[in-house]
Structure 1
């Protein structure tokens, strides 16, 4: 069983964990579902769903803890406060996690980001803001508009730059052209239980795919059937269906 490694959160006394699965292959940075832990990915059968790829040395998963409990899931804080706290999580990814992954791999290698539910937001957001290190994102059953997450209070700069719907919608010029050339996003969602209510994953995924199309950012939208639920058994199938072509 893979061991947890704790890495410091910059500017705090806290740490967050990462668990590696696999010995070789394309590195995949995995974000858990809302407020989840690094162990959740394997515990819910996601590693097992593509065990053949792991055993063949085609993929290595780096699964991380979420910080949602004190960022996006803290409904006592305003949306802007939560977005500001999210910046600390981003600093952990940049300053603690990425150097550790580089050390594990022996060099900097292009990452795939992957996440389910709220983790899909984290994966897609990280690629869109860090395409130089993570050029491909795979989002399963995500909602990509943070303003829909029971927020309150005024929204400012921190929210804008943490919300893909906002900053992609406002993107233009050289920055947009660079992203068009370097980023790619795969959005997968079902039409079954909990994909509309309460998660809004289905309408959000479709809307965000339309926005990516308007901005000519490379992407693919894959909508599964009415039996495909917002749940781990379906995410296992979706991962097994899509991941092999990238590894």
Structure 2
């Protein structure tokens, strides 16, 4: 696969950000790393390689941005309000700096988003906050309630980055147009989180697929199985 390295100064973050891209054409898929993962994590763990057939034929182009989890949700060295604010800056970076640059690869003007584990949170949160920009959501073993990182603190930035809180009241028409897959398994530590989110979507009659696989653990072998399957749905 063709691999391209990108590094730029992000006005949204006030710092440099790095990203790997795979392919030079095809439907844009933004693939988020797991907890505190780097932009090369999905490559190192073989997740990107599972998409080689789609990328080499020009069907899919994958963009793997860095995370700032160590500065946001996982940063116990700052006030919880600052953690949430830092993540909001990351969300702005994806929305204002990455999506506009890649969304016109196809005629839809939208992108697909995906991620495993905490990357599933990133993908779901971005999709539900900005459904007008997202056509497909592929969350693999995601968790969707970030209040555990807040030490009891709560503000608007927490609310609007916590899908289980804001999604019930989100009635953007594009939600009902999105292709949503919540991947999990019987042994997944995030099984309950996916069932809970599926229940919220079902209450709203939002079409989605709760893909519950067999006795497989919350780990890369499961996600390497899921990812090419989900890409085939685009």
TM-score, length of structure 1 as denominator length: 0.86
The question of whether the paired residues in 1 share the 8 Å contact of 2:71 and 2:83 is answered with: yes
Among 213, 221, 231, the alignment partner of 1:233 is 221
C-alpha deviation, 1:238, in angstroms = 0.9
- Correspondence 1:122-141 to 2 at 5 A: 122-141=122-141
Change beyond 3 A, Cα 1:5–1:106: farther
C-alpha deviation, 1:183, in angstroms = 2.7
For residues 131 and 168 of structure 2, what CA distance do their matches in structure 1 show?
A: 17
What's 2:143 paired with? Answer: 143
Change beyond 3 A, Cα 1:156–1:114: same
Q: Is residue 208 of structure 2 the alignment partner of residue 209 of structure 1?
A: no
Secondary structure of the 2:217 match is coil
For residues 15 and 203 of structure 1, what CA distance do their matches in structure 2 show?
A: 36
C-alpha deviation, 1:27, in angstroms = 0.9
C-alpha deviation, 1:102, in angstroms = 4.9
Q: Which runs of 5+ in 2 are unaligned?
A: none
C-alpha deviation, 1:61, in angstroms = 0.3
For residues 154 and 31 of structure 2, what CA distance do their matches in structure 1 show?
A: 28
Secondary structure of the 1:188 match is strand
Change beyond 3 A, Cα 1:106–1:224: closer
RMSD of equivalent CA atoms: 2.0
Q: Which runs of 5+ in 1 are unaligned?
A: none
Secondary structure of the 2:180 match is strand
Deviates more, 1:138-147 or 1:128-137: 128-137
- Equivalent residues, number: 233
Among 181, 187, 205, the alignment partner of 2:182 is 187
C-alpha deviation, 1:124, in angstroms = 0.9
TM-score, length of structure 2 as denominator length: 0.91
For residues 122 and 177 of structure 1, what CA distance do their matches in structure 2 show?
A: 19
What's 2:233 paired with? Answer: 245
